[in-house]
Amino acid sequence: MKSDFSKKLEEKVKKTIEKYKMFNKKEKLLIALSGGKDSAALAYIMKKLGYEFECLHINVGIGQFSEFSEKYAKIQSRMLGCNLNILRVKELLGKSVNEISKARPVCSVCGITRRYLMNYFAFKKGFDVLITGHNLDDIAKFYFHNLFNGQITYLSSLRPVIPKEKKLVKKVKPLFFVREEETLKYVSLNSIEFNPIRCPYERFAKTKRYDTILNSIDLINKRFLHSFVRNLSNLIHPKEAEMKTCKVCGMPSNRDVCSFCKIWNRKEPLVI
Amino acid sequence: MKSDFSKKLEEKVKKTIEKYKMFNKKEKLLIALSGGKDSAALAYIMKKLGYEFECLHINVGIGQFSEFSEKYAKIQSRMLGCNLNILRVKELLGKSVNEISKARPVCSVCGITRRYLMNYFAFKKGFDVLITGHNLDDIAKFYFHNLFNGQITYLSSLRPVIPKEKKLVKKVKPLFFVREEETLKYVSLNSIEFNPIRCPYERFAKTKRYDTILNSIDLINKRFLHSFVRNLSNLIHPKEAEMKTCKVCGMPSNRDVCSFCKIWNRKEPLVI
């Protein structure tokens, strides 16, 4: 019974990877390993499917939560037998994420910083693909959030594959059609340890409040959320806006100076 | 206070009509008047805005519900001082909608029959625009239903304006951004009578079960449903499938014989 569920989930992820041509065994793969259950389940499944990869953990410096996150990312990568790269925001940038969050909400600063560092590291170190553990519940909540707030252009980043464009490496989400409860069951059946502490800012996260909508949808039909995400992702088209180049770091940006360099008041490109 | 709300709603509908270039005062307009509150509110608002139009009521023959629907459509059109055209399914086709509903669900037969007759009448009588009273709640529920059931092509009919194409007259929905509670308040403030009886099949309607999702969305933010519908309607593109022509009636169809002629076992075009 145990292996039956696990094998089916591994097969499902394999099909998603193949259907969306996410990557192949010749490409240099980097998995973002947060220490939580989703990216851990993803890395284990990828290992089972025979992929070689390195991992990247970003320690944003949110007290005990971040200490535990790093600890579990280390435990997981040791069990996986794969190389773990660690970027610590405090060491790299002088302050932690919540120390810099004065003008903007901390979740916004944290998101911008993590997304920038993940891509920057992958780009600088020559990885072909950046792989994240976003699950179906995450995607559905982001869809609702962006549809409710009119951020239609943001929707284009919520596809299973975002192809490489200039200095933005290819980003893929192999758990795009995997429910959160499935990754929870997988880590539990396979004795995979993960950070039991929740982020103290989680209750302020904008997407948290959409849980009730997901519950309502599940109450009608447990398969509906899957169809909703699949059909909506088919309606979304890639962004066609012309990208500028950040005057500070030289990475792609919507404005003259990118959000990362602006928030962190950067005067020169980061050296990693 | 009373006139304040009413004026604001009339202004909102006016803006929707203008923004989407739904119609102008030179076009020959037909409003589908069901006898219910939404189409009644729409017709009253259109009158206030100075539009000339005729109405069309379709009596599908669902017992007392349909008798009351026709009665209230007559009361409403008399108050509006506009011409009311009535098509009675039993007289036209020999049977009522629920007498024919053996192989298909009654709501499906009713929907196909009403949509066909509305367009057929508008086309045969030379109307430029067919105007229906679908409100924001209806649209949101249809969006969910189609996104959940993978009927992405159906989504393309859920836009504020469906332009004329061959023998399909232009169809518009001026209440696209009006909540159901707004039309209810409008008819009550303006002493507009409407059919108090609910369709006996309503509880079987597929869209009924999405009420809980709409309630969850309203609980988070009362303005979210509006954004959801507006943003999703912007993502939806017109259908590009090539239309065939029904061998029986000569109207546009996806198949050799259209759903209407198939359901009603038609051998020749309807004469109206």
- pLDDT, tens only, A160-219: 999 999 999 999 999 999 999 999 999 999 999 999 999 999 887 778 889 999 999 999
Q: Is the pLDDT of residue B53 over 70?
A: yes
Q: What pLDDT, in 10s, does the model give residues B83-114?
A: 999 999 999 999 999 888 776 788 889 999 99
Nearest by CB to B217, from A150, A213, A219: name it.
A213
Q: How far apart are CA B199 and CA A72, in angstroms?
A: 58
**Is residue B254, in this structure, part of any structural domain at all?**
no
- Residue in chain A nearest B214 by alpha carbon: A213
Pairing of strands B129-131, B170-172: parallel
Q: Exposed, middle or buried: residue A50 (CB in 10 Å: 0-12, 13-18, 19+)?
A: exposed
- Nearest chain B residue (CA) to A219: B212
- Give a yes or no: residue A269 inside a domain: no
> How many Cβ atoms sit within 10 Å of the Cβ of residue A215?
12
Q: What is the CATH number of the domain that holds B191?
A: 3.40.50.620
pLDDT band at A150 (very low <50, low <70, confident <90, very high): confident
Residue A165 lies in domain: 2-263
Q: Minimal Cα–Cα distance from A162 to chain B, Å? A: 18
Tens digits of residue pLDDT in A91-140: 999 999 988 877 678 888 999 999 999 999 999 999 999 999 999 999 99
pLDDT-derived band at A151, boundaries 50, 70, 90: confident
A148 to B209: CB separation less than 8 angstroms, yes or no:
no
What is the mean predicted confidence (pLDDT) over B150-179?
Answer: 91
Residue B155 has pLDDT above 90, yes or no: no
pLDDT class of B149 with cuts at 50, 70, 90? confident
Q: Which of A9-13, A155-159, B198-202 has the lowest mean pLDDT?
A: A155-159
Give the model's pLDDT for residue B42: 98
Quick one: tokens of A191?
Answer: 């004795």
- Could you give the CA distance from residue A249 to residue A237 in angstroms, rounded to a whole number? 28
- Counted domains in chain A: 1
Of B217, B227, B234, the CB nearest to A149: B227
Q: How high is the pLDDT of residue A2?
A: 55
Would you call A212 and B216 a contact, using CB atoms and an 8 Å cutoff?
yes
**B chain contacts of residue A149, beta-carbon cutoff 8 Å:** 227
- Decide: A29 and A43 in contact? Cβ < 8 Å: no
Answer yes or no: is pLDDT of A55 > 70: yes
**Distance of alpha carbon A256 from its chain centroid, rounded?**
26
Q: Which of A236, A109, A243, A110 is nearest to A168 (CA)?
A: A243
- The pLDDT of residue B129 is above 70: yes
In a domain, A271, yes or no: no
* Residue A272 within a domain: no
Q: How far is B195 from chain A (nearest CA, A)?
A: 30
The A-side interface with B (CB below 8 A) comprises: 144, 146-150, 152, 155, 209-210, 212-213, 215-217, 219-221, 224, 227-228, 230-232, 234-236
Model-level pTM? 0.87
Query: Nearest Cβ partner of B148 from A149, A227, A236?
Result: A227
Give B155's contacts in chain A (Cβ within 8 Å). 235
Tell whether the model's pLDDT for residue B1 goes beyond 60: no
How far is it, in rounded angstroms, from Cα B95 to Cα B249?
19
Crossing angle of the two packed helices A136-149 and A180-189, in degrees rounded to 10: 160
CB neighbour burial string for A136-145, b if at least 16 within 10 angstroms, e if fewer: bbbbbbbbbb
In a domain? residue A193: yes
Q: Is residue B265 part of a domain?
A: no
Asked if B84 and B77 count as a contact pair (C-beta separation under 8 A), the reply is: yes
Helix axis angle, B136-148 relative to B224-235, nearest 10°?
A: 60
Instruction: Establish if B269 belongs to a structural domain.
Output: no
Answer whether B235 sits within 8 Å of A150, measured CB to CB. Answer: no
Residue B73: how many other CB atoms lie within 10 Å: 27
Report if residue B99 sits inside a domain: yes
- Answer whether B230 sits within 8 Å of A155, measured CB to CB: no
Residues of B in contact with A143 (CB under 8 A): none
Distance between CA atoms of residues B85 and B57, nearest Å: 6
Q: Is residue A1 predicted with pLDDT exceeding 60?
A: no
* Per-range mean pLDDT, top range of A6-20, B148-162, B237-251: A6-20
**Alpha helices, DSSP H only, in A20-149?**
37-48, 63-80, 89-93, 97-100, 106-124, 136-149
User: How far B58 CA lies from chain A's nearest CA (Å)?
Assistant: 32
